[in-house]
Amino acid sequence: GENVGLHLPTLSVQEGDNSIINCAYSNSASDYFIWYKQESGKGPQFIIDIRSNMDKRQGQRVTVLLNKTVKHLSLQIAATQPGDSAVYFCAENPHNFNKFYFGSGTKLNVKP
Partner 1 sequence: EAQVTQNPRYLITVTGKKLTVTCSQNMNHEYMSWYRQDPGLGLRQIYYSMNVEVTDKGDVPEGYKVSRKEKRNFPLILESPSPNQTSLYFCASSFSSGRMAYEQYFGPGTRLTVT
Element (H, E) at 7: none
25 in contact with partner 1 (CB under 8 A): no
68 in contact with partner 1 (CB under 8 A): no
Stretch that binds partner 1, among 14-22, 29-37, 63-71, 77-85 (CB under 8 A): 29-37
- Largest alpha-carbon pair distance within the chain? 44
DSSP code string of 91-103: EEEETT----EE-
> Which residues here bind partner 1, judged by CB under 8 A?
1, 3-4, 6-8, 32, 34, 36, 41-46, 49, 89, 91, 93, 96, 98-105
